[in-house]
Structure 1
Amino acid sequence: MTTTIIDPGAVRRHLADPALRVPEADAASARPIERFRAASSRFVNGDAHDVRRARLEQRLADLDPAELAETAARMTRAASTASTAPTAPTAASTAATLSDLTISRRIPVACLARHLGFNRPERLPQLVATIAAAYPTGIAAVEGDGVIAADAADAAVDVALQAAVDGDAALDLQLLVQSCLATASLIDGALAAVAAAPAVSTRTALVQTLARRPPVPATRRVDPHGAVLVLPLGDPAAHPAADDPASMLAFGSGPRACPAPAHALAIAAAVVDVLRAHGHPLAATDASSASRTAGSGGDR
C-alpha cells in the first residue's frame, strides 16, 4: 500500500520518525551502480547510515560555500561566453541526450568535483548525469525520448570512482550525484521565476522555487509493516521574504535532511546571477524534465 502525505507539518514529523526506513540497496550485487548505491548513505539505514552521514558532514565542513560560489561564477562566465545555448531545458531540449548538458547541469557538478579533488573535474558532469539517471532505483531510467540503460551507469560509476582522489570515493561521488539533478532543477526553477518577474531578486527566485516546485518533488519511507509513504517536499505557503531557505522543506528534515543547503544555494545563486548579468535566455523548465527526478537528491 502507498500513501501520500500532503500536510508539510506531517511530512516533517514522518521524516523525523526513526521507525520509518528507506529502501536499501544490494551491496552484494554484481552491478557497479547498485554497489555504489549500497556504499552511499542514501540507501542504508541504522548505524551504517549514521556513520556515513557523519563522514559526509565532515567532508562538507571542509568546503567553503563562498569559495564554491566564486568557482561556480567563474565557470559560468566561461561557459556563458562560449555558448549561446539555452541555460534551461526547453520543450525541444528535454528530448536531447545527456551529451548536450545544459549549463545548469554542468556547472554545479564540475564546481563540486574541483573542490572535492576529483581528477579532470570537467569530465565529471557527463558521467554524473548518467549515474544520476539510474541512481534512485539502480535500473534503466528514461531521459527525454531516450533510455539510459543501467549498463551505461555501471560504466560511468567505474570511471567516476577512479577519478576520486581524496576522501571516501563513494561518498564524494554521492555528493556529486545527489547535487546533479537537484541543483540543476533549482537553477532552472529560479531562471523561470526571473523570466516571469524580471525584477525579482535571485534569492527570492530561489526561495520561490524551493517552496513551489522543489528540485526533489518527494521522497519515500517504508513503515514497519511494509507500507510506502510518499512525502512531498514542497510548501507553497512558505513566505519568500521571511523564511531561511536552508530550513525549507525542500531540503528535507530530520536525520536525513540535506547536509549542504548552504553549498547548494551558494552555487545556484552564483550561476543564476552570472546568467542574468550575461543576458542569457531564461527559459522555463518543463515540470516533467528529468532534472526533477523524485528521490535523486534530498535524503542523505
Structure 2
Amino acid sequence: MRTAPSSALEDPALRVPDVPDGTAGVAWLRAHVARFSEGPSHTRRRELVAAVLADLTRRVVPGGDPTECLLLALGLPAAHGPDVALVAGAYQPHVPQSPEADAAADRLVAALGPRDELTAARVGVLVQAHAATRALVDRLRTGDPRPPVPSTRRIDPDGEVVEVDLVDAPFGRGPHACPARTLALRLATAVPT
C-alpha cells in the first residue's frame, strides 16, 4: 500500500473504497452511507447527513460522553452505546467483521427508523463520530497535536489502496471532508476533564 499526502483527497482519480451491497447489518449500512459512495449517490447522501447534523446541532446537549450525547439528541437511550461501538469497530471495509456487529447495526437501524438512506445517515453519523470524537477528546485533553483519525484510504485507478495521511487535514478535505467538524469540536471541548 502506498501513502499520499492529504492533498490526494482532492484528486478525482482517487475514489473511496468500493463496498458491496448488503441487505442487513454493517454491509447494508456501508452500502447506503455517503462515506462509501461517489457521484450522485454521494451528493444525495451527503445532503441527508447535512440535514441530520443541522438537527443534531440544535438538539444536542454537550457535556458528557460524545456518543451518549448524540444518542440522546437522536431520541435514543444511552444504552445503545455498546451497539454504536460494535458497529464502529467493523465499519471500515478492511477491518474484521462479526455477526455481533451486524446485529448491532440492525438494532440501530430499527431504533432510528425505516431501512432507508436517512436512517443510514443517522446511524452513519453516530458510528463515524464514535471513535473519532473520543480520540479528539483525548488529544485536546493531553495537548497531542496529532489528528484524531490519522489516515484514510482511497483507491487509485489501478485498484491499488492508497493510505492518505491526515496530519495536516484532521477533518479531511475534498468532497468527503468531515461535515461534522463544528459539532465534533463542540462535543469534545464540553467533555469534563
TM superposition score normalised by structure 2: 0.90
**1:111 equivalent among 53, 62, 69:** 69
Tell me the residue number matched to 1:133. Answer: 89
Q: Deviations over 1:43-73 (max 9, x none)?
A: 12211111101111122123337x63xx222
**1:189 equivalent among 139, 145, 160:** 139
Larger radius of gyration: 1
Alpha-carbon contact 2:25-2:104 (below 8 Å) kept: no
Listed as ranges, the matches of 1:209-248 within 5 Å are: 209=144, 212-235=145-168
Deviation at 1:184, TM superposition (A): 0.5
Deviation at 1:165, TM superposition (A): 4.4
What secondary structure does 2:141 align onto? Answer: helix
Shift in CA distance, 115/165, structure 1 to aligned 2, threshold 3 Å: farther
Q: Deviations over 1:110-133 (max 9, x none)?
A: 11122223x3x2122111001111
Tell me the residue number matched to 1:178. Answer: 128
Deviation at 1:222, TM superposition (A): 1.2
What secondary structure does 1:64 align onto? Answer: helix
**2:171 equivalent among 251, 258, 262:** 251
Letter in 2 for 1:56: V
Listed as ranges, the matches of 1:25-44 within 5 Å are: 25-27=19-21, 29=22, 32-44=25-37
Residue 153 (str. 1) matches residue 108 (str. 2): no
Tell me the residue number matched to 2:49. Answer: 56
Shift in CA distance, 139/64, structure 1 to aligned 2, threshold 3 Å: closer
**1:46 equivalent among 39, 43, 54:** 39
Shift in CA distance, 233/219, structure 1 to aligned 2, threshold 3 Å: same
Deviation at 1:139, TM superposition (A): 5.0
Distance 2:23 2:122 in 1: 22
Letter in 2 for 1:72: P
Tell me the residue number matched to 1:95. Answer: none
Listed as ranges, the matches of 1:203-214 within 5 Å are: 209=144, 212-214=145-147
Residue 22 (str. 1) matches residue 16 (str. 2): yes
Deviation at 1:36, TM superposition (A): 1.1
**1:72 equivalent among 44, 59, 62:** 62
Deviation at 1:182, TM superposition (A): 0.2
What secondary structure does 2:157 align onto? Answer: coil
Letter in 1 for 2:2: T
Deviation at 1:16, TM superposition (A): 1.3
Tell me the residue number matched to 2:189. Answer: 269
TM superposition score normalised by structure 1: 0.59
Letter in 1 for 2:92: P
Structure with higher RCO (Cα < 8 A, 6+ apart): 2
Alpha-carbon contact 1:24-1:45 (below 8 Å) kept: no
What secondary structure does 1:49 align onto? Answer: helix
Deviation at 1:138, TM superposition (A): 6.8
Distance 2:95 2:150 in 1: 20
Matched residues, number:
191
Q: Deviations over 1:234-286 (max 9, x none)?
A: 13xxxxxxxxxxxxx10000111000100000000000xx22xxxxxxxxxxx
Backbone CA RMSD of aligned residues:
2.0
